[in-house]
Amino acid sequence: MADIKREYALNALLALGLLLVPIWALYNGAPFTITLFTRIAILALAGIGLNIALGLGGMVSFGHAVYFGLGGYVAGILAQHAFNGAPILGLPGTNQMLIIWPVAMVLSGLLAAVIGAFSLRTSGIFFIMITLAFAQMVYYFAVSWPAYGGEDGLPIYVRNQFPGLNTMRPFELFIVCWGVLMLALGVFALIRASRFGAALMAIRQNPDRVASLGINPFGVKLAAFVISGMITGLAGALMADLSRFASPAAMAWTMSGELIVIIILGGTGRLFGPVAGAAFLVGFEVFFGGLTEHWKLWLGLVLLAAVLFNRGGIVALIAGRERLG
Protein backbone atom coordinates (compact mmCIF):
# COMPACT_ATOMS: atom_id res chain seq x y z
CA MET A 1 0.00 0.00 0.00
CA ALA A 2 1.26 3.40 -0.90
CA ASP A 3 1.97 5.72 1.97
CA ILE A 4 0.97 9.13 0.61
CA LYS A 5 2.75 11.10 3.33
CA ARG A 6 5.98 9.25 2.86
CA GLU A 7 5.78 9.71 -0.90
CA TYR A 8 5.23 13.46 -0.46
CA ALA A 9 8.19 13.61 1.88
CA LEU A 10 10.36 11.68 -0.55
CA ASN A 11 9.29 13.92 -3.44
CA ALA A 12 10.08 17.04 -1.46
CA LEU A 13 13.43 15.59 -0.47
CA LEU A 14 14.30 14.79 -4.10
CA ALA A 15 13.17 18.17 -5.44
CA LEU A 16 14.99 20.12 -2.75
CA GLY A 17 18.05 17.88 -2.67
CA LEU A 18 18.38 18.27 -6.40
CA LEU A 19 18.46 22.04 -5.85
CA LEU A 20 20.38 22.32 -2.59
CA VAL A 21 23.37 20.12 -3.43
CA PRO A 22 24.34 22.20 -6.48
CA ILE A 23 23.91 25.37 -4.41
CA TRP A 24 26.26 23.89 -1.85
CA ALA A 25 28.62 22.91 -4.65
CA LEU A 26 28.51 26.43 -6.05
CA TYR A 27 29.80 27.89 -2.81
CA ASN A 28 32.34 25.14 -2.23
CA GLY A 29 33.96 25.20 -5.65
CA ALA A 30 32.81 21.78 -6.88
CA PRO A 31 31.58 22.57 -10.38
CA PHE A 32 31.53 18.96 -11.50
CA THR A 33 28.91 18.14 -8.89
CA ILE A 34 26.73 20.79 -10.51
CA THR A 35 27.31 19.27 -13.97
CA LEU A 36 26.37 15.89 -12.58
CA PHE A 37 23.14 17.17 -11.07
CA THR A 38 22.31 18.95 -14.33
CA ARG A 39 22.67 15.60 -16.06
CA ILE A 40 20.38 13.99 -13.51
CA ALA A 41 17.77 16.69 -14.04
CA ILE A 42 17.87 16.29 -17.83
CA LEU A 43 17.70 12.49 -17.77
CA ALA A 44 14.85 12.73 -15.28
CA LEU A 45 13.07 15.09 -17.68
CA ALA A 46 13.50 12.60 -20.53
CA GLY A 47 12.20 9.94 -18.17
CA ILE A 48 9.11 12.00 -17.32
CA GLY A 49 8.33 12.10 -21.01
CA LEU A 50 8.54 8.33 -21.29
CA ASN A 51 6.67 7.95 -18.00
CA ILE A 52 3.58 9.51 -19.57
CA ALA A 53 3.52 6.92 -22.36
CA LEU A 54 4.84 3.99 -20.36
CA GLY A 55 3.83 4.67 -16.79
CA LEU A 56 0.39 6.16 -17.32
CA GLY A 57 -0.54 4.73 -20.71
CA GLY A 58 1.19 1.35 -20.49
CA MET A 59 2.80 1.92 -23.90
CA VAL A 60 6.23 0.30 -23.64
CA SER A 61 8.15 2.39 -26.16
CA PHE A 62 11.57 0.89 -26.83
CA GLY A 63 12.44 3.74 -29.15
CA HIS A 64 12.14 6.89 -27.09
CA ALA A 65 15.79 7.73 -27.67
CA VAL A 66 14.76 8.89 -31.13
CA TYR A 67 12.99 11.95 -29.66
CA PHE A 68 15.87 12.53 -27.27
CA GLY A 69 18.27 12.51 -30.21
CA LEU A 70 16.03 14.64 -32.41
CA GLY A 71 15.78 17.32 -29.72
CA GLY A 72 19.56 17.34 -29.54
CA TYR A 73 19.85 17.78 -33.28
CA VAL A 74 17.40 20.69 -33.23
CA ALA A 75 19.59 22.47 -30.67
CA GLY A 76 22.76 21.59 -32.57
CA ILE A 77 21.53 22.45 -36.05
CA LEU A 78 19.88 25.75 -35.11
CA ALA A 79 22.98 26.75 -33.15
CA GLN A 80 25.23 25.88 -36.07
CA HIS A 81 23.16 27.99 -38.45
CA ALA A 82 23.18 30.86 -35.97
CA PHE A 83 26.95 30.45 -35.67
CA ASN A 84 27.75 30.52 -39.38
CA GLY A 85 24.87 32.77 -40.44
CA ALA A 86 23.54 30.43 -43.13
CA PRO A 87 19.74 30.24 -43.25
CA ILE A 88 17.96 26.90 -42.81
CA LEU A 89 14.85 26.33 -44.95
CA GLY A 90 14.81 30.06 -45.59
CA LEU A 91 14.82 30.93 -41.89
CA PRO A 92 17.77 32.10 -39.79
CA GLY A 93 19.28 29.82 -37.14
CA THR A 94 19.10 30.79 -33.50
CA ASN A 95 21.00 30.34 -30.29
CA GLN A 96 18.06 31.26 -28.07
CA MET A 97 16.81 28.38 -25.91
CA LEU A 98 13.36 29.91 -25.76
CA ILE A 99 13.06 29.47 -29.53
CA ILE A 100 14.94 26.18 -29.75
CA TRP A 101 12.78 24.44 -27.14
CA PRO A 102 9.44 24.94 -28.89
CA VAL A 103 10.96 23.91 -32.20
CA ALA A 104 12.44 20.77 -30.61
CA MET A 105 9.13 19.97 -28.96
CA VAL A 106 7.04 20.51 -32.08
CA LEU A 107 9.33 18.41 -34.27
CA SER A 108 9.55 15.65 -31.66
CA GLY A 109 5.79 15.76 -31.31
CA LEU A 110 5.34 15.45 -35.06
CA LEU A 111 7.71 12.51 -35.23
CA ALA A 112 5.90 10.90 -32.29
CA ALA A 113 2.59 11.45 -34.08
CA VAL A 114 3.83 9.67 -37.19
CA ILE A 115 5.49 6.81 -35.30
CA GLY A 116 2.57 6.56 -32.90
CA ALA A 117 -0.02 6.48 -35.68
CA PHE A 118 1.65 3.39 -37.10
CA SER A 119 2.77 1.74 -33.87
CA LEU A 120 -0.43 2.11 -31.89
CA ARG A 121 -2.17 -0.17 -34.33
CA THR A 122 -0.22 -2.92 -32.60
CA SER A 123 0.14 -3.78 -28.95
CA GLY A 124 2.22 -5.79 -26.53
CA ILE A 125 5.51 -7.09 -27.81
CA PHE A 126 4.72 -5.88 -31.34
CA PHE A 127 4.50 -2.34 -30.04
CA ILE A 128 7.84 -2.69 -28.25
CA MET A 129 9.49 -3.95 -31.40
CA ILE A 130 7.97 -1.54 -33.90
CA THR A 131 8.96 1.48 -31.82
CA LEU A 132 12.47 0.03 -31.70
CA ALA A 133 12.45 -0.44 -35.47
CA PHE A 134 11.40 3.16 -36.17
CA ALA A 135 14.10 4.45 -33.86
CA GLN A 136 16.71 2.28 -35.59
CA MET A 137 15.58 3.63 -38.94
CA VAL A 138 16.11 7.24 -37.88
CA TYR A 139 19.36 6.28 -36.16
CA TYR A 140 20.84 4.79 -39.34
CA PHE A 141 19.69 7.81 -41.27
CA ALA A 142 21.43 10.17 -38.82
CA VAL A 143 24.64 8.13 -38.86
CA SER A 144 24.94 8.21 -42.62
CA TRP A 145 23.57 11.69 -43.36
CA PRO A 146 26.66 13.82 -43.97
CA ALA A 147 25.19 17.35 -43.78
CA TYR A 148 25.26 17.55 -39.97
CA GLY A 149 28.25 15.42 -39.14
CA GLY A 150 26.82 11.92 -39.52
CA GLU A 151 28.27 9.60 -36.93
CA ASP A 152 30.80 12.27 -35.88
CA GLY A 153 27.96 14.38 -34.54
CA LEU A 154 27.68 18.12 -34.33
CA PRO A 155 29.61 20.22 -31.79
CA ILE A 156 27.94 23.24 -30.19
CA TYR A 157 30.86 25.60 -29.62
CA VAL A 158 28.99 28.05 -27.42
CA ARG A 159 25.97 26.91 -25.42
CA ASN A 160 22.63 28.31 -26.47
CA GLN A 161 21.42 31.36 -24.52
CA PHE A 162 18.72 31.85 -21.94
CA PRO A 163 17.67 35.49 -21.32
CA GLY A 164 19.39 36.98 -18.29
CA LEU A 165 21.63 33.99 -17.61
CA ASN A 166 25.08 32.89 -18.71
CA THR A 167 24.56 29.24 -19.62
CA MET A 168 28.29 28.61 -19.92
CA ARG A 169 28.37 28.79 -16.11
CA PRO A 170 27.45 25.35 -14.78
CA PHE A 171 25.14 26.61 -12.04
CA GLU A 172 23.13 28.91 -14.30
CA LEU A 173 22.58 26.11 -16.82
CA PHE A 174 21.59 23.87 -13.93
CA ILE A 175 18.96 26.32 -12.72
CA VAL A 176 17.44 26.40 -16.20
CA CYS A 177 17.26 22.59 -16.29
CA TRP A 178 15.94 22.34 -12.76
CA GLY A 179 13.23 24.85 -13.55
CA VAL A 180 12.18 22.96 -16.67
CA LEU A 181 12.18 19.71 -14.70
CA MET A 182 9.89 21.19 -12.05
CA LEU A 183 7.55 22.48 -14.75
CA ALA A 184 7.46 19.06 -16.39
CA LEU A 185 6.71 17.42 -13.05
CA GLY A 186 3.83 19.84 -12.73
CA VAL A 187 2.58 18.94 -16.18
CA PHE A 188 2.83 15.24 -15.35
CA ALA A 189 0.89 15.71 -12.12
CA LEU A 190 -1.77 17.74 -13.95
CA ILE A 191 -2.15 15.13 -16.65
CA ARG A 192 -2.41 12.33 -14.12
CA ALA A 193 -5.12 14.19 -12.21
CA SER A 194 -7.06 15.25 -15.30
CA ARG A 195 -9.93 13.46 -17.04
CA PHE A 196 -7.55 12.83 -19.91
CA GLY A 197 -5.14 11.11 -17.52
CA ALA A 198 -7.94 9.11 -15.97
CA ALA A 199 -9.02 7.94 -19.41
CA LEU A 200 -5.41 7.07 -20.29
CA MET A 201 -4.95 4.97 -17.16
CA ALA A 202 -8.32 3.36 -17.62
CA ILE A 203 -7.39 2.37 -21.19
CA ARG A 204 -4.23 0.72 -19.87
CA GLN A 205 -6.40 -1.39 -17.57
CA ASN A 206 -9.31 -2.12 -19.84
CA PRO A 207 -9.50 -0.55 -23.30
CA ASP A 208 -12.80 -2.19 -24.22
CA ARG A 209 -14.69 -0.75 -21.29
CA VAL A 210 -13.35 2.72 -22.03
CA ALA A 211 -14.37 2.39 -25.65
CA SER A 212 -17.87 1.44 -24.57
CA LEU A 213 -18.05 4.77 -22.71
CA GLY A 214 -17.69 6.58 -26.03
CA ILE A 215 -14.00 7.47 -25.64
CA ASN A 216 -11.70 6.65 -28.54
CA PRO A 217 -8.76 4.74 -26.99
CA PHE A 218 -6.57 5.24 -30.05
CA GLY A 219 -6.94 9.02 -29.94
CA VAL A 220 -6.21 9.25 -26.22
CA LYS A 221 -3.16 7.02 -26.50
CA LEU A 222 -1.84 8.89 -29.54
CA ALA A 223 -2.22 12.23 -27.76
CA ALA A 224 -0.34 10.89 -24.73
CA PHE A 225 2.35 9.44 -26.98
CA VAL A 226 2.84 12.80 -28.69
CA ILE A 227 3.09 14.69 -25.39
CA SER A 228 5.52 12.05 -24.20
CA GLY A 229 7.73 12.49 -27.27
CA MET A 230 7.64 16.28 -26.91
CA ILE A 231 8.94 16.23 -23.33
CA THR A 232 11.66 13.72 -24.15
CA GLY A 233 12.62 15.87 -27.17
CA LEU A 234 12.94 18.92 -24.94
CA ALA A 235 15.24 16.93 -22.65
CA GLY A 236 17.34 16.05 -25.70
CA ALA A 237 17.78 19.71 -26.58
CA LEU A 238 18.96 20.44 -23.04
CA MET A 239 21.33 17.46 -23.05
CA ALA A 240 22.93 18.66 -26.27
CA ASP A 241 23.56 22.00 -24.60
CA LEU A 242 25.00 20.37 -21.50
CA SER A 243 27.38 18.21 -23.56
CA ARG A 244 27.83 20.96 -26.16
CA PHE A 245 27.32 18.20 -28.68
CA ALA A 246 24.53 16.54 -30.64
CA SER A 247 25.04 13.05 -31.98
CA PRO A 248 23.28 9.98 -33.31
CA ALA A 249 24.58 8.07 -30.28
CA ALA A 250 21.73 9.71 -28.35
CA MET A 251 19.35 7.79 -30.65
CA ALA A 252 20.96 4.38 -30.20
CA TRP A 253 18.76 1.59 -28.87
CA THR A 254 20.90 1.39 -25.73
CA MET A 255 19.74 4.91 -24.88
CA SER A 256 16.12 3.78 -25.21
CA GLY A 257 17.01 0.96 -22.83
CA GLU A 258 18.55 3.43 -20.40
CA LEU A 259 15.39 5.53 -20.36
CA ILE A 260 13.32 2.45 -19.54
CA VAL A 261 15.81 1.57 -16.81
CA ILE A 262 15.42 5.06 -15.32
CA ILE A 263 11.64 4.71 -15.18
CA ILE A 264 11.53 1.23 -13.74
CA LEU A 265 14.33 1.74 -11.26
CA GLY A 266 12.65 4.88 -10.02
CA GLY A 267 9.09 3.65 -10.04
CA THR A 268 6.83 3.24 -13.06
CA GLY A 269 4.04 5.80 -13.21
CA ARG A 270 5.18 7.54 -10.02
CA LEU A 271 5.58 11.31 -10.16
CA PHE A 272 9.17 11.39 -8.93
CA GLY A 273 10.08 7.94 -10.22
CA PRO A 274 12.22 9.24 -13.10
CA VAL A 275 14.03 11.65 -10.78
CA ALA A 276 14.94 8.87 -8.37
CA GLY A 277 15.89 6.55 -11.24
CA ALA A 278 18.09 9.12 -12.98
CA ALA A 279 19.83 10.05 -9.74
CA PHE A 280 20.55 6.41 -9.03
CA LEU A 281 21.81 5.61 -12.52
CA VAL A 282 24.11 8.63 -12.80
CA GLY A 283 25.40 8.15 -9.26
CA PHE A 284 26.07 4.47 -9.89
CA GLU A 285 27.94 5.13 -13.12
CA VAL A 286 30.13 7.83 -11.61
CA PHE A 287 30.91 5.89 -8.46
CA PHE A 288 31.43 2.37 -9.81
CA GLY A 289 32.82 3.57 -13.14
CA GLY A 290 35.69 5.03 -11.14
CA LEU A 291 36.22 1.85 -9.12
CA THR A 292 36.30 -0.77 -11.86
CA GLU A 293 36.19 -1.03 -15.63
CA HIS A 294 33.73 -3.88 -15.13
CA TRP A 295 31.11 -1.59 -13.63
CA LYS A 296 28.54 -2.62 -16.23
CA LEU A 297 28.57 -6.12 -14.78
CA TRP A 298 27.59 -4.69 -11.41
CA LEU A 299 24.99 -2.44 -12.96
CA GLY A 300 23.47 -5.50 -14.62
CA LEU A 301 23.36 -7.35 -11.32
CA VAL A 302 21.73 -4.42 -9.53
CA LEU A 303 19.12 -4.07 -12.29
CA LEU A 304 18.40 -7.76 -12.16
CA ALA A 305 17.97 -7.67 -8.41
CA ALA A 306 15.70 -4.66 -8.75
CA VAL A 307 13.40 -6.44 -11.21
CA LEU A 308 13.33 -9.70 -9.31
CA PHE A 309 13.04 -8.54 -5.74
CA ASN A 310 11.91 -4.93 -5.64
CA ARG A 311 8.94 -4.43 -7.88
CA GLY A 312 7.90 -0.80 -7.99
CA GLY A 313 11.33 0.80 -7.91
CA ILE A 314 12.99 3.17 -5.49
CA VAL A 315 9.87 5.18 -4.77
CA ALA A 316 7.98 2.01 -3.81
CA LEU A 317 10.90 0.91 -1.65
CA ILE A 318 10.46 4.03 0.46
CA ALA A 319 6.80 4.93 0.08
CA GLY A 320 5.20 1.59 -0.68
CA ARG A 321 3.57 0.32 -3.86
CA GLU A 322 0.68 1.96 -5.60
CA ARG A 323 -2.59 0.15 -5.59
CA LEU A 324 -3.06 0.59 -9.30
CA GLY A 325 -0.98 -2.15 -10.86
Gyration radius of the chain's alpha carbons: 19
* 300 makes contact with another protein (CB under 8 A): yes
* 153 makes contact with another protein (CB under 8 A): yes
- Compute the distance between CA of residue 162 and CA of residue 183 in angstroms, rounded to an integer: 16
* 133 makes contact with another protein (CB under 8 A): yes
| Shortest distance, position 195 Cβ to another protein, whole Å | 26
* 303 makes contact with another protein (CB under 8 A): yes
| Shortest distance, position 153 Cβ to another protein, whole Å | 6
- Which residues in 177-236 contact another protein (CB under 8 A)? none
Q: Which stretch binds another protein (CB under 8 A): 98-106, 149-157, 193-201, 211-219?
A: 149-157
* 320 makes contact with another protein (CB under 8 A): no
Q: Tell me the number of residues near another protein by CB under 8 A.
A: 80
* 290 makes contact with another protein (CB under 8 A): yes
Which residues does 160 contact at the CB level (< 8 Å), separation at least 6?
Answer: 75, 78, 79, 94, 95, 96, 97, 100, 167, 241
| Shortest distance, position 145 Cβ to another protein, whole Å | 7
* 293 makes contact with another protein (CB under 8 A): yes
Collect contacts of 99-102 with beta carbons under 8 A, ≥24 apart.
Answer: 100/74, 100/75, 100/160, 100/237, 101/234, 101/237
- Which residues in 265-284 contact another protein (CB under 8 A)? 268, 283
* 152 makes contact with another protein (CB under 8 A): yes
| Shortest distance, position 291 Cβ to another protein, whole Å | 7
Closer to another protein at the Cβ: 195 or 294? 294
Closer to another protein at the Cβ: 8 or 126? 126
Q: Which of 24, 86, 92, 183 binds another protein (CB under 8 A)?
A: 24
Q: Which stretch binds another protein (CB under 8 A): 102-110, 189-197, 213-221, 305-313?
A: 305-313
- Which residues in 55-114 contact another protein (CB under 8 A)? 60, 62
CA-to-CA dists, residue 306 to 215, 269, 316, angstroms:
36, 16, 11
CB 201 within 8 A of CB 77: no
| Shortest distance, position 186 Cβ to another protein, whole Å | 26
| Shortest distance, position 146 Cβ to another protein, whole Å | 6
Going by their DSSP bridges, the two strands 154-155 and 245-246 should be labelled as: antiparallel
